[in-house]
Amino acid sequence: MSKTVTGISTTIAAGPLPKVAWGKGGHVTDSTDKTYVDGSGGPAVYSLGYGNEEVTEAIKAQLDRIMHGYRYTFTSDPLEELTEYILAGCGPEFGAVVLVSGGSEAMESCLKIALQYHSARGEISRRRFISRQRSWHGNTLGVLALSGFAERRAPFEGALMPASLLSPVNAYRPPEGVSPDELARHCAHELEEEILRLGPDTVAAFVFEPVVGAAGGVVPAPTGYAAMVREICTRHGVLMIADEVMCGSGRCGTYRALTHDDVVPDIMSIAKGMSGGYIPLGAAVYSIPVRDAITATYGGVMTGHTFTGHTVACAAGAAVHRIFRRDGLIEHVGANGSHLRALLAEALAGIDEVGDLRGRGYFIGIELVADPVTKTPFPRDRELFLRVRECALANGLICYPSGGNVDGVLGDTIILAPRYNAPDAELVEIAGKLGVSVRQALAQIGRD
């Protein structure tokens, strides 16, 4: 019988969802008293785990003072403190922040800032966006049009704005005939060709995830790719927008994921881990030249919402950033990422179907394939990624399996994104339960 799990139709016996009751540290308990270790921080969000008393106290204290100062009437201490943390984390090239309520709003703001920048400079013809297949930029109509997650786009096709979606950039699955060594140059060249085909004066921005999240199963760009893209964008007056909703805010071991590539975008988004899931929050961050051009013509950016810079949300975000900084958590994630990968590699050792284990910091993707030599994915009707999810839940593990990374439909990946402050025993527990769950899911489809 067909059922639905997180919006994806499925034929496996997916029971009703457990009801969440409470959480502490890296563990969450449901209403039947079953406890799960959270290996993915939910959807790569809970950067400090559950029930962090410093964050909840900061929220309560702010609520006791005032919940919300409306942005057209007031600024506030939490808003200013959070803005300072974000700008310090992003680096001196960045000049302004728009605070919103999540990743899609952050990405919509990034697009609007890019368009407003070109309008401010009189380049009104620059309206077109270029992005990539196997990427995810959000659920609102604007950024859905730039997202290459076929299954999530399908019901809305025909109503999405025109955009150019280039090849995915994945060293494990390079385009046919392209060697891994040539991948960065090949894909950067594809971007330049598309800019030239459209006419550079029509292109507003190139939008990409520095480390692709759900749509690709954690795919870091190959060495050199981001720098080549940066150079091409600059040469053609095209803005570079980095979508760091999932991979940013320290998840990859640096505040900006692109720091790893030594590249600075013009505009970027963050969300998810920036408030640890305590209150919905996101941000669009943009460079000093972008800010100055917009300010000179318009006085300020024309994006934002009723709850932009919401005071309690900012208090949560500021508390999370304070803890990141005080406890050196982002540096810890950077230093300990290889240890997490080693634990996972050990737990999955001997499973031939593990085709690739990849990622940065505490953002790891595992790709399961039917044949590790040819990299052939499993047929969709095996629903392997969903089976892993079900087995993991039964074993008391939360992970983030995702399908469709190969061609939009085929492909089984599992994402792990533990909290930055997880003790080693928790990482060991996650790895151990994942190994058991993957073996059980494979056994269900006759692969033991």
Least Å distance, CB 243 to ligand PLP, is: 5
Q: By CB under 6 A, which span of 224-232, 239-247, 337-345, 351-359 interacts with ligand PLP?
A: 239-247
Among 166, 271, 316, 330, binds ligand PLP (CB under 6 A): 271
Q: Is 128 helix (H, G, I), strand (E, B) or coil?
A: strand
Beta strands in 84-184 (DSSP E): 94-100, 128-132, 164-166
Does residue 38 interact with ligand PLP by CB under 6 A? no
Q: In whole angstroms, what is the distance from residue 448 CA to residue 440 CA?
A: 8
Number of residues binding to ligand PLP, judged by CB under 6 A: 16
CA neighbor of 229 nearest in space, from 281, 288, 196, 188: 188
Does residue 102 interact with ligand PLP by CB under 6 A? yes
Q: In whole angstroms, what is the distance from residue 114 CA to residue 108 CA?
A: 10
Among 90, 245, 316, 422, binds ligand PLP (CB under 6 A): 245
Q: Decide whether 217 or 435 has the Cβ nearer to ligand PLP.
A: 217
Hunting for tokens 């640890």 — which residue is that?
A: 276
The answer to whether 179 and 213 have CB atoms below 8 angstroms apart is no
CA neighbor of 128 nearest in space, from 52, 205, 73: 205
Q: By CB under 6 A, which span of 25-33, 84-92, 98-106, 367-375 interacts with ligand PLP?
A: 98-106
Hunting for tokens 């090849």 — which residue is that?
A: 167
Q: Decide whether 136 or 378 has the Cβ nearer to ligand PLP.
A: 136
Q: Decide whether 226 or 343 has the Cβ nearer to ligand PLP.
A: 226
User: How far does Cα 379 stand from its chain's mean position?
Assistant: 26
Distances (CA, A) of 321 to 83, 132, 286: 10, 31, 19
Q: By CB under 6 A, which span of 56-64, 97-105, 365-373, 396-404 interacts with ligand PLP?
A: 97-105
Among 145, 195, 214, 221, binds ligand PLP (CB under 6 A): 214
Q: In whole angstroms, what is the distance from residue 410 CA to residue 277 CA?
A: 30
Q: Decide whether 186 or 272 has the Cβ nearer to ligand PLP.
A: 272
Which residues inside 275-334 make contact with ligand PLP, applying CB under 6 A? none
CA dihedral angle for residue 251, residue 255, residue 259, residue 263, rounded to 10 degrees: 110
x-or-dash string of contact with ligand PLP, 116-155, rule CB under 6 A: --------------------xxxx----------------
Site residues, ligand PLP (CB under 6 A): 43, 102-104, 107, 136-139, 209, 213-214, 243, 245-246, 271
